[in-house]
Amino acid sequence: MQRIAVIGAGQMGSGIAQTIAQHGMDVLLSDRDISISEKAKTGIEQALGRLVGKGKIEIADAEAALARITPIADYAPMADAHLIIEAATENEAIKQAIFGEAGKVLAGDAIMASNTSSIPITRMANFTPDPARFIGLHFFNPVPVMGLIEIIPGLATSADTTARTRSFAESLGKQVVEVQDEPGFVVNRILIPMLNEAAFVLGQGTASIEDIDKGCRIGLNHPMGPLALADFVGLDTVLDIVRILQATTGDAKYRPAPLLVKYVEAGWLGRKTGRGFYDYTGEEPVPTR
């Protein structure tokens, strides 16, 4: 695969585009508005600049990677893409509308993939032109750093689509796990209840934000505590995933923590809005409770 389209230029779409470009492929990057994809490209330029500054990559390689990324305003240029990766907001209606639009230009042998964290692949396949060429391709945040990709074939996904998608994921230097299309796949099925539980623990006053995170960081040897990680993922995305787990399983154990709901309703979505369980507007993150 040489030309990849990425739809959604938020933190995941940006990381996916950067990683693909650093592996020598061309990327078309789109969002609701071209100004968002252009801003994302500027963010990628800064991320590549930091890698150059640390001596991790050569300046010529950073410039070449950046030149491979083209922000686009509409779907037409995606007709040339070998793979279209949807990485927009974790909302099924938004994704369905995107599949409808991208489906109109999807090339005859191209693959359409979703980076959804939790929405069933088999169900979303109905909104694509060819369910045999639709698959879950689940990256982890931050994409340039994290070594894993989950591949989730839906019921109708062909063996050829799965094999080509695996080969693409491996070409990015990532390890692949192939997962059945079950709620939350593997990693989020285990991770997201932990992040939600941390919000319950905080809401019950069991410990402070700092001590909940310190406990898990030091006691479990995790790189981030669960509240800091929830802020990193995005509290809106965490809540969307919790609700999808609850709806798709019907199991009350996935009910959202009231405090998580409250933070999202306040618009405190974590790092991306500058405030979640921590306030990120100063030099160091400061707990918000």
Enumerate residues 125-164 that contact ligand CAA by CB under 6 A.
140-142, 144-146
Q: Which is nearer to ligand NAD, 11 or 157 (CB)?
A: 11
Four-residue CA torsion sign, 105, 158, 179, 242: positive
Sheet of 175-178: strands edge to edge?
69-71, 26-30, 3-7, 83-86, 111-114, 134-139, 148-153, 175-178
Q: Which helix (H) or strand (E) covers residue 139, if one does?
A: strand 134-139
User: Which token pair is 231?
Assistant: 């802020």
Helices (H), the chain: 11-22, 34-53, 59-67, 92-105, 121-125, 159-171, 187-203, 209-220, 226-233, 235-249, 258-265
Enumerate residues 228-287 that contact ligand CAA by CB under 6 A.
229, 233
Q: Which is nearer to ligand NAD, 57 or 142 (CB)?
A: 142
Task: Please answer whether residues 42 and 71 qualify as being in contact, where contact means their C-beta atoms are separated by less than 8 angstroms.
Answer: no
Among 57, 246, 272, 279, binds ligand NAD (CB under 6 A): 272
Q: Of the listed 37, 90, 114, 138, which one is catalytic?
A: 138
Q: Of the listed 188, 197, 221, 222, which one is catalytic?
A: 188
CA 65 remoteness from chain centre: 20
Among 2, 24, 32, 56, binds ligand CAA (CB under 6 A): 56
Q: Which is nearer to ligand NAD, 87 or 112 (CB)?
A: 87
Among 65, 192, 233, 264, binds ligand NAD (CB under 6 A): 233
Work out the end-to-end distance of the chain between its first and last CA atoms, rounded to an integer number of angstroms: 48
Q: Which is nearer to ligand NAD, 265 or 283 (CB)?
A: 265
For the question of residue 82 being annotated catalytic, the response is no
Task: Please answer whether residues 56 and 49 qualify as being in contact, where contact means their C-beta atoms are separated by less than 8 angstroms.
Answer: no
* Residue 44, C-beta contacts closer than 8 angstroms, at least 6 positions apart: 14, 17, 18, 21, 66, 69
Q: Of the listed 114, 117, 118, 196, which one is catalytic?
A: 117
**263 interacts with, out of ligand NAD, ligand CAA, none, CB within 5 to 8 A per kind:** none
Enumerate residues 136-155 that contact ligand NAD by CB under 6 A.
139-141
**Minimum distance from CB of 147 to ligand CAA (Å)?**
10
**116 interacts with, out of ligand CAA, ligand NAD, none, CB within 5 to 8 A per kind:** ligand NAD
DSSP-assigned letters across all residues of 210-267: HHHHHHHHHHH--SS-HHHHHHHH-HHHHHHHHHHHHHHH--GGGPPPHHHHHHHHTT
Among 4, 5, 8, 225, binds ligand NAD (CB under 6 A): 8
Q: Which is nearer to ligand NAD, 59 or 97 (CB)?
A: 97
Task: Please answer whether residues 133 and 196 qualify as being in contact, where contact means their C-beta atoms are separated by less than 8 angstroms.
Answer: no
Nearest residue to ligand NAD by CB is: 10
User: Which token pair is 96?
Assistant: 């369905």
Q: What does the binding site for ligand NAD look like in residue numbers (CB under 6 A)?
A: 7-13, 31-32, 36, 87-90, 94, 97-98, 115-117, 139-141, 233-234, 237, 272
Give catalytic residues, as residue numbers: 117, 138, 150, 188
Q: What does the binding site for ligand CAA look like in residue numbers (CB under 6 A)?
A: 47, 54, 56, 117, 140-142, 144-146, 188, 191, 223-224, 229, 233
